[in-house]
Chain A
């Protein structure tokens, strides 16, 4: 809620002319989220500092938010520099931001010795440096500590910039990069924001090494908007982030492993000649898409415990736009694998692809009983990570995904599969998925077949 701007170019008080705010007065402006003040703590020939102080009215802020959001009453918005301050800056220093000055036109294009301080800004010191240094600033970002009772640092920095930059450039840098560092826009981001970004970024954003991040964050992570903005910058496509399940996996070949896994599952299903199949824990529907493409599957059921995942799957598969014949082949049901579900009985095959490791070990017997015992499909295909392989992932500590409850070695998986097979009357065959090595393959697959379907 505070930023100060100091120049030492004599006469320093020219800063007042450039900002169109007289140093000997207290200027106040009503802005949508409170009152903005422009004040000069010092104004001499040698040194002049203008301060923009935004007195946020939490009451007004609240009116804009979801009534049941807890954060609306306890938040950092009154204290940290953010899009609130950037909006106030745009309103209060409008002409300076455009690089116009009636009184000192000759100074507009002149780089000034400037020091800028933003005492509280959310974001990391590292990112602050990455954002401002390419623009010619020398950056000091000091993390603000939490109280000693808690120890450690907060998510805030005290940011100081110094450099020789025109005032308009400095203001435009702040206008774009303060919200980018803060990364939480206080207003609805509409497509006209692209225009604002391009206008303020004119002359520097296209060359900025972090332009993708800047565009994305500035446009509040609305990917289509960010892509448009980047295309307009230089016709470049925004890169897609990796798929959800493997997003946390620091591995080179991640894309192909997911595909290999899918192919291995499909191959197993083909091998047993299944036509009516269950994809248990289908998530966003990656496997469902592949199943739907093959005509031999006459009935495909995707289940997941998350109603939200099923919505995403339905959207991804464009369920409402599929022709009726196609649509009738596919069902999406919410179900939990730890409960028996009569709807799942009588299918040729069930797939548990990267699912069991998301179940707490004490709950596995319930899953075994409901899937292998109650639903009792002719075939069950299970895939799960091979923990032994994890050493191949550089930088991976712990497990491959933060929600994994366990990852098994080949021996552990084999033991489990053998026990489940003998309890519920299935023959088991184990096979690797992905590049095989002395540590096994990254993914391991177990194919369970009942005696009936095996013959």
Chain B
């Protein structure tokens, strides 16, 4: 029975014919085993081509590195008799902070020779085996020195055949311990505050005969100390006594801090500088029994530098830990956990400048740590520092896990003067890394998965960084919307009947038909304070520019003041349409739409004039005349269509907003509210400021009731006959409506009016032959895109609500924009 760590780089060591490959086959999965023969074959088409060895090992080490980076046990099947070859393996293992392990297969030389001779593919002579055996003898003793943390030597074929392997966990692997926990920040000898905090958290203190606390018990919770129990404070021995008792009884876990580390070195008689509060601790310990001091030393030496807890969701280390080091074991992992990473520079107070690793942290596990005193604990990219400087007169803080609630006890006084003032972190997670958004990206956004093509990311990067608002403001972008299935009804490309069918077949029983405003989509963020308020377009651009956006936002803000109170939020995110279309799109209307109209309205009468003169001369041009007359009527219809969306505006005069959904507020996404709720809020805004807000007309339809559908259809016909764009049919249940299998359904389908579509499909699209062609339009891609963007939008709102780090929100918002770069028929 031999034991190896669950994650390790295992080097098999043995001469040719010692049975390494058989051993590997017996104990490991084929994919776990990297054999040098196999890699020689890959490189040179010949497993025995020794001239390919250097390249083969290069490739082998590369693959080993990839496996270890992914946390997979890797076995190297090679003779590993040369020191330089083994040194490479140790290097690869250390590079990925896993333990190198050696298993030596030691068989008699004669047996090895017998096996080798029996193989047709081995053509070297006995002297080679002899030399290998000599190398093996020399190697065995050197393995531990070379850095192999475990060396198992199996002597003789019987021992090898009888071997069983048992996997052992790393000390830091406490994934099976699920809490709930109370994680306590740097105590630094502040025993009184610790006692108060534990009692506040619901622990009962257990005291010894001298009334000194030696344990604390909670019926269901476990405490975790992030280290730095000692130094600077008034009673380091008291804190140690309590924490050591709690750890011994299983009521607490503890990771070491750099101060414990230094104390242990001092107690071991090493020469350390007596600074940073160590003298105080030594003085206090001098009053204690030698046995207690001895137990302190043993306790500190037994501490594990970090823990991975609660199924891998929580990592605790004194100075934090970057993701690549979670659950790994090496000197540098331990050093990071104790001291953090420094840049090598020192600041104006002579203290080392720390590298802000939390700023780069992108892991899914929450990392809880201490080490650097801050006035107020703040989550930074799913990491939090709990050192609130109790010994410097701050407070002692605990984080309750998994609820993430913070509990603090103020220090009774300043016990020690800080070398540098406590400064708040400068929102380091507001900075984004280019790696968060570029390249080909696979994204699991909770409602589905998406792959964003690198070229779409590249296009979105340009829009996002050149034209869009600050990502910290841009918490959401509106998804594109699919039209309803194509209607086969005479003269119609889109019709309510197919819109209702779409929703029915998605399992939706009740819908709301909302008037589709023809303007410009606008997302509005307003807050009580007005700070970071913004209004942005479909692609995240500021709307008109500050000189108009600011006064517009001020009016929205004023109208929302009642809602802030009612919804108990300091800010709201509102989805709306800004009207009229001409306010934002005047240039487009002029160049693309009205120009065509003017040309047609000038050309067709002129042509008709010519044709009428020709007819007056007695020639037959009736057919041509009819075609021109139809064209003329069509261009008039087309001109009327865009003209309905043109209204004069001057500055903000004449500009209105039609809100139709309230997306989110402080700590909450309103995606689960039904549209009745959303529209009621919209109506309130209209009532508050009828000049600024335009109401959204609507019909609620029971999809099981033909009469209800018929009523909505005639409502739509009337709406579109008088210049309305059409309607959007939405599941009544709200934005996050799902089908019976729990999958998101389309948040709405648009059903556009017959006349409106002339500005999309051309003035003459209603001709039967054209309609026939257009009915072959393919909606699949557009629907798929709409659903993906919708899901990502909901994910952005969820992440915003849970206070996720900026990069997590930005990656989905960015992906929405990138998805918009996919080639899809723009008329849909």
A interface vs B, CB < 8 Å?
Answer: 1-2, 4, 24-26, 37, 39-43, 51, 53, 55, 58-59, 67-68, 70-71, 73-76, 78-80, 119-120, 122, 144-147, 149-150, 152, 154-156, 158, 305-307, 334-342, 358, 362-363, 366, 369-370, 374
With A68-B826, A74-B760: A150-B603 Cβ-Cβ less than 8 Å:
no
B621 with A334: CB separation less than 8 A:
no
With an 8 Å Cβ cutoff, the count of chain B residues facing the other chain is 69
For the complex formed, measure the closest distance between the CB of B587 and the CB atoms of chain A, giving whole angstroms.
Answer: 11
B595 with A154: CB separation less than 8 A:
yes
A156 with B614: CB separation less than 8 A:
no
Query: B464 interface residue, CB < 8 Å from A?
Result: yes
When chains A and B are docked, how far (Å) is the Cα of A42 from the Cα of B614? 7
B614 with A119: CB separation less than 8 A:
no
Q: Which residue of B lies closest to A24 (CB)?
A: B619
Interchain CB contact (< 8 A) of B599 among A67, A80, A307, A336: A80
Which of these binds chain A: B86-94, B275-283, B705-713, B762-770? Answer: B762-770
Interchain CB contact (< 8 A) of A76 among B432, B438, B599: B599
Query: B744 interface residue, CB < 8 Å from A?
Result: no
Sort A-B residue pairs by CB-CB distance and give the 9 closest, nearest first: A41-B613, A336-B465, A119-B606, A79-B603, A154-B598, A73-B762, A79-B599, A339-B434, A120-B603
Query: B174 interface residue, CB < 8 Å from A?
Result: no
A68 with B823: CB separation less than 8 A:
yes
Task: Return chain A residues, CB-CB under 8 Å to B593.
Answer: 74
When chains A and B are docked, how far (Å) is the Cα of A37 from the Cα of B582? 39
With A74-B760, A154-B599: A358-B466 Cβ-Cβ less than 8 Å:
yes
B597 with A147: CB separation less than 8 A:
yes
For the complex formed, measure the closest distance between the CB of B610 and the CB atoms of chain A, giving whole angstroms.
Answer: 5
Interchain CB contact (< 8 A) of B595 among A4, A43, A155, A306: A155
Which of these binds chain A: B36-44, B330-338, B454-462? Answer: B454-462
A149 with B466: CB separation less than 8 A:
no
B595 with A41: CB separation less than 8 A:
no
When chains A and B are docked, how far (Å) is the Cα of A334 from the Cα of B462? 9
For the complex formed, measure the closest distance between the CB of B820 and the CB atoms of chain A, giving whole angstroms.
Answer: 13
Q: Which residue of B lies closest to A122 (CB)?
A: B599
When chains A and B are docked, how far (Å) is the Cα of A451 from the Cα of B10? 49
Query: B611 interface residue, CB < 8 Å from A?
Result: yes
Contact residues, B752-779 vs A (CB, 8 A) = 759-765, 769-770, 773
A sample of 16 cross-chain residue pairs with beta-carbon separation below 8 angstroms, ordered by A number, consists of A25-B619, A59-B773, A68-B825, A73-B760, A76-B600, A78-B600, A79-B635, A119-B603, A120-B599, A122-B599, A144-B602, A152-B590, A154-B599, A307-B458, A339-B434, A339-B437
A73 with B827: CB separation less than 8 A:
yes
A41 with B466: CB separation less than 8 A:
no
Query: B301 interface residue, CB < 8 Å from A?
Result: no
A370 with B431: CB separation less than 8 A:
yes
Query: B741 interface residue, CB < 8 Å from A?
Result: no
Interchain CB contact (< 8 A) of B826 among A42, A70, A156, A374: A70
Task: Return chain B residues, CB-CB under 8 Å to A4.
Answer: 610
Task: Return chain B residues, CB-CB under 8 Å to A71.
Answer: 592
B602 with A158: CB separation less than 8 A:
yes
When chains A and B are docked, how far (Å) is the Cα of A340 from the Cα of B414? 39
A156 with B610: CB separation less than 8 A:
no
When chains A and B are docked, how far (Å) is the Cα of A309 from the Cα of B643? 39
For the complex formed, measure the closest distance between the CB of B586 and the CB atoms of chain A, giving whole angstroms.
Answer: 8
A120, A338, A339, A341 interface centre (most CB from chain B within 10 Å): A339
Task: Return chain A residues, CB-CB under 8 Å to B627.
Answer: 55
B459, B591, B597 interface centre (most CB from chain A within 10 Å): B597
With A145-B598, A339-B432, A339-B436: A41-B614 Cβ-Cβ less than 8 Å:
yes
For the complex formed, measure the closest distance between the CB of A38 and the CB atoms of chain B, giving whole angstroms.
Answer: 10
A58 with B764: CB separation less than 8 A:
yes
Q: Which residue of A lies closest to B762 (CB)?
A: A73
With A51-B610, A150-B590: A334-B431 Cβ-Cβ less than 8 Å:
no
Task: Return chain A residues, CB-CB under 8 Å to B595.
Answer: 76, 146, 154-156
Query: B629 interface residue, CB < 8 Å from A?
Result: no
When chains A and B are docked, how far (Å) is the Cα of A307 from the Cα of B613? 57
A144 with B598: CB separation less than 8 A:
yes
Query: B604 interface residue, CB < 8 Å from A?
Result: yes
With A39-B619, A336-B434: A146-B594 Cβ-Cβ less than 8 Å:
yes
B interface vs A, CB < 8 Å?
Answer: 431-438, 455, 458-459, 461-462, 464-466, 469-470, 582, 589-600, 602-604, 606-607, 609-611, 613-614, 617, 619-621, 624, 627-628, 631, 635, 638-639, 643, 646, 759-765, 769-770, 773, 823-827
B433 with A341: CB separation less than 8 A:
yes
For chain B, what secondary structure do more than half of its interface residues adopt (helix, strand, loop), or is it mixed? Answer: helix
When chains A and B are docked, how far (Å) is the Cα of A70 from the Cα of B823? 12
For the complex formed, measure the closest distance between the CB of A140 and the CB atoms of chain B, giving whole angstroms.
Answer: 15
When chains A and B are docked, how far (Å) is the Cα of A20 from the Cα of B599? 30
When chains A and B are docked, how far (Å) is the Cα of A307 from the Cα of B438? 12
Task: Return chain B residues, CB-CB under 8 Å to A24.
Answer: 617, 619
A342 with B435: CB separation less than 8 A:
yes
Task: Return chain B residues, CB-CB under 8 Å to A374.
Answer: 431
Task: Return chain A residues, CB-CB under 8 Å to B594.
Answer: 146-147, 150, 154
Task: Return chain B residues, CB-CB under 8 Å to A306.
Answer: 462
Interchain CB contact (< 8 A) of A146 among B455, B590, B824: B590
Interchain CB contact (< 8 A) of B462 among A80, A307, A366: A307
A336 with B464: CB separation less than 8 A:
yes
For the complex formed, measure the closest distance between the CB of A138 and the CB atoms of chain B, giving whole angstroms.
Answer: 21
B599 with A156: CB separation less than 8 A:
yes
B621 with A39: CB separation less than 8 A:
yes
When chains A and B are docked, how far (Å) is the Cα of A419 from the Cα of B624? 73
B610 with A53: CB separation less than 8 A:
yes
Interchain CB contact (< 8 A) of A305 among B465, B628, B639: B465
Interchain CB contact (< 8 A) of B589 among A150, A336, A340: A150
Q: Which residue of A lies closest to B609 (CB)?
A: A41
A68, A70, A146 interface centre (most CB from chain B within 10 Å): A146
B592 with A362: CB separation less than 8 A:
no
With A119-B603, A120-B603: A42-B624 Cβ-Cβ less than 8 Å:
no
Extra 17 A-B pairs, beta carbons < 8 Å, given A2-B610, A59-B770, A340-B433: A26-B614, A39-B614, A40-B617, A41-B610, A41-B614, A59-B769, A70-B827, A73-B760, A76-B600, A79-B603, A80-B599, A156-B598, A305-B466, A307-B455, A335-B434, A342-B433, A362-B469
With A40-B614, A40-B617: A366-B470 Cβ-Cβ less than 8 Å:
yes
Q: Which residue of B lies closest to A151 (CB)?
A: B648
When chains A and B are docked, how far (Å) is the Cα of A144 from the Cα of B435? 53
For the complex formed, measure the closest distance between the CB of B583 and the CB atoms of chain A, giving whole angstroms.
Answer: 13
Q: Which residue of A lies closest to B774 (CB)?
A: A73
For the complex formed, measure the closest distance between the CB of A155 and the CB atoms of chain B, giving whole angstroms.
Answer: 5
Task: Return chain B residues, CB-CB under 8 Å to A25.
Answer: 619
When chains A and B are docked, how far (Å) is the Cα of A39 from the Cα of B759? 32
When chains A and B are docked, how far (Å) is the Cα of A337 from the Cα of B624? 60
For the complex formed, measure the closest distance between the CB of B80 and the CB atoms of chain A, giving whole angstroms.
Answer: 35
Task: Return chain A residues, CB-CB under 8 Å to B639.
Answer: 147
For the complex formed, measure the closest distance between the CB of A422 and the CB atoms of chain B, giving whole angstroms.
Answer: 13
A42 with B462: CB separation less than 8 A:
no
When chains A and B are docked, how far (Å) is the Cα of A43 from the Cα of B617? 9
Task: Return chain A residues, CB-CB under 8 Å to B759.
Answer: 74
When chains A and B are docked, how far (Å) is the Cα of A122 from the Cα of B435? 48
When chains A and B are docked, how far (Å) is the Cα of A26 from the Cα of B610? 12
B469, B594, B823, B824 interface centre (most CB from chain A within 10 Å): B594
Q: Which residue of A lies closest to B628 (CB)?
A: A55
When chains A and B are docked, how far (Å) is the Cα of A80 from the Cα of B601? 11
Task: Return chain A residues, CB-CB under 8 Å to B624.
Answer: 26, 37, 53, 55
With A42-B613, A78-B631, A150-B589: A144-B599 Cβ-Cβ less than 8 Å:
yes
Interchain CB contact (< 8 A) of A1 among B455, B603, B613: B603
With A71-B592, A150-B594: A26-B602 Cβ-Cβ less than 8 Å:
no
With A73-B765, A74-B592, A74-B593: A1-B607 Cβ-Cβ less than 8 Å:
yes
Q: Which residue of A lies closest to B638 (CB)?
A: A74
Task: Return chain B residues, CB-CB under 8 Å to A370.
Answer: 431
B465 with A337: CB separation less than 8 A:
yes
When chains A and B are docked, how far (Å) is the Cα of A71 from the Cα of B432? 38
